[in-house]
Structure 1
Amino acid sequence: MKTRITELLGIDYPIFQGGMAWVADGDLAGAVSKAGGLGIIGGGNAPKEVVKGHIDRVRELTDKPFGVNIMLLSPFADDIVDLVIEEKVKVVTTGAGNPGKYMARFKEAGITVIPVIPSVALAKRMEKLGVDALVAEGMEAGGHIGKLTTMSLVRQVVEAVSIPVIAAGGIGDGHGVAAAFMLGAEAAQVGTRFIVAKESNAHPNYKAKIIGSKDIDTVVSAQHFGHAVRGLKNKLTKRFDEAEREAFRQDNPDVSIFETMGAGALRAGVVDGDVENGAVMAGQIAGLVHKEETCEEIVRDLYEGAREVIAQEAKRWSE
């Protein structure tokens, strides 16, 4: 299958791996790119030298295209922009902010820019800025989320812009990828399933909690007073819920408590394996993730599964 995305990026399969902070390192991104998808290093709040190490690792594993996700609210965002230009990284995805002030430099460096967006209004604004494509991420996704579901968001974004759209949020198998294409997307981004990949360095406890989860095991924390985050239920999410309830009872609640509670929580879950008091960010599709596989197996299953579903439905409709 060829789409504007595979042609633009020079990848074999229209499959993106989400740029998940603390999870999407050089090992994972390199393995996904080597398998023919687009591996993406999650910059998160990491400093320049750490991201540089991940870029070096990807290039040890493969010469295929890869990307770096830049969280624009990071205190190191300027440094990471300098880094991707210095290292001649070909693809950048962005989140948590507007990449406008960097666009001229990105374009001069020949970098393909793909922001992650949660709404049609922001999609239109990004197209006017001159970005190359968009990741439309629904609230089924893990981590920081917007308010619209993937099905409603992707279709409306596709209708609103002329640039290619990548669907994200709640996609974990070939059926989900096929659904993304039916909505008009030209690629699909997957996060949660790649967390449990064999090449992922996420702590075994983190992987086990995802593999053992059910469809109703995720919850959205800080959705009223902070930045809404989806993750698996644990002691931390219960404390967030209690803090929100308390905040509702106050006339002028101190919302900074939510940032304090979340500080270091993702590292605690991903690196230290504290899946009760740390954050276990995962999407609603976690209940469909049952085993650890290689990135190559995941990419092939996503792509071939989508082909099979689309072929079956085409046959059904032609009969």
Structure 2
Amino acid sequence: MKTAITELLNIEYPIVQGAMAWVADADLASAVSNAGGLGVIGTGHDPVEVVEKKVTLMKEKASKPFAVNVMLLNPQVDAVVDYLIEAGIKIITTGAGNPAKYMKRFKEAGIAVIPVVASVALAKRMERIGADAIIVEGMEAGGHIGKSTTMTLLPQVVDEINIPIIAAGGFGDGRGMAAALMLGADAIQVGTRFVVSHESNAHPRFKQAIIEAKDIDTVVTGQITGHPVRVLRNPLTTQYLQAEKEETSKETPDILRLDEIAKGALRRAVVEGDWQSGSFMAGQIAGLVSKEQSCHDIIQDYINECKEIIKINQKFVD
């Protein structure tokens, strides 16, 4: 299945794995890459020593192209960028900031740079500074989200830029993938479904929570902070949303109170499986996930169903 993204990144299938904090490690990312997609190592706020360990392990496990995500708000981002360039990484995705400061060095090192964007204006800005492709992420996604839905944002971005586009948020099967391609995307990014893969090291309770989720079981927290996050409903979200409601009613909201409630919550979910106080980040497609599979089988499910859907719907234009 060839698209502008598969050609740019030298991958077999136009499927990119999301850079999920605490989940996107070398075990998961290498399995995705070796199955023909693009595995992505998540680095979050990792110090450079931790990033180096992750990349070293990834190089040992992956036989095909992979990417490293750079979280631009990481206090050690300068050191992380220095290391990634030195290590010969060829694909970098970026989030939580503008990579313009590093773009010249990335280009000189022959690195393909793919920022995550949540608006048309930001997509155009990333193209102007030299991004090789972009990830357009809508509010259906799990974790940190923007305000527009993927299905409305994607075609607007397609109309405005000329570089390849990866659509993210709301693609739980091949039907969604076909829709993204029809709207002009060159690939999709998948997060939630890969959390439930055999190779994912997410806690079994996290995986089971996604498998058991229904269509209305995600909620958005953090609206008042300006950094909304989509997660599965649980006791922590009940506590957080009540606190958020109370702070919203105040003339001067206590954001630190909300930060304290959320502190360490993602780790508690992914590593400990703590249903009471963990932040179980997942997209709205959680209701479509019904079983744990290998990354290979997940990718094949997407590709086979996508091709079948496109083939079937040719009848409408014959």
The offset of 1:82, in angstroms, is 1.4
TM-score norm. by structure 1 comes to 0.98
Quote the Cα distance in structure 2 between the aligned partners of 1:123 and 1:199. Answer: 32
Mean CA deviation greater in 184-193 or 267-276: 267-276
SS state at 1:116 partner? strand
In the alignment, structure 2 segments of 5+ residues that lack a partner are none
Question: Is residue 33–residue 39 contact of structure 1 (8 Å, CA) maintained in 2?
Answer: yes
Asked if 1:257 corresponds to 2:274, the answer is no
Quote the Cα distance in structure 1 between the aligned partners of 2:236 and 2:83. Answer: 34
Whichever residue aligns with residue 32 of structure 1, its letter is V
1:137-286 map, 5 Å? 137-286=137-286
Could you list the per-position Cα deviations for residues 129-158 of structure 1 after superposition, in whole angstroms to 9, with x for gaps in the alignment?
100000000000000000000100111011
In the alignment, structure 1 segments of 5+ residues that lack a partner are none
Question: Is residue 194–residue 200 contact of structure 1 (8 Å, CA) maintained in 2?
Answer: yes
Question: Is residue 224–residue 248 contact of structure 2 (8 Å, CA) maintained in 1?
Answer: no
Quote the Cα distance in structure 2 between the aligned partners of 1:207 and 1:314. Answer: 36
Quote the Cα distance in structure 1 between the aligned partners of 2:48 and 2:300. Answer: 33
Whichever residue aligns with residue 121 of structure 1, its letter is A
SS state at 1:304 partner? helix
The offset of 1:48, in angstroms, is 1.5
Question: Is residue 220–residue 229 contact of structure 1 (8 Å, CA) maintained in 2?
Answer: yes
Quote the Cα distance in structure 1 between the aligned partners of 2:85 and 2:171. Answer: 31
How many residues were matched structurally? 318
Partner of 1:2: 2
Quote the Cα distance in structure 1 between the aligned partners of 2:28 and 2:47. Answer: 19
TM-score norm. by structure 2 comes to 0.98
The offset of 1:243, in angstroms, is 1.2
The offset of 1:103, in angstroms, is 0.5
Partner of 2:49: 49
1:33-182 map, 5 Å? 33-182=33-182
Quote the Cα distance in structure 1 between the aligned partners of 2:47 and 2:306. Answer: 37
Quote the Cα distance in structure 2 between the aligned partners of 1:199 and 1:227. Answer: 30
Quote the Cα distance in structure 2 between the aligned partners of 1:239 and 1:219. Answer: 13
Identity of aligned residues (%): 59
Mean CA deviation greater in 56-65 or 187-196: 56-65
Quote the Cα distance in structure 2 between the aligned partners of 1:216 and 1:10. Answer: 37
Whichever residue aligns with residue 115 of structure 2, its letter is P
Question: Is residue 68–residue 93 contact of structure 2 (8 Å, CA) maintained in 1?
Answer: yes
SS state at 1:220 partner? strand
SS state at 1:271 partner? helix
Quote the Cα distance in structure 2 between the aligned partners of 1:130 and 1:257. Answer: 39
Quote the Cα distance in structure 1 between the aligned partners of 2:79 and 2:200. Answer: 26
Q: Which runs of 4+ in 1 moved over 4 A?
A: none
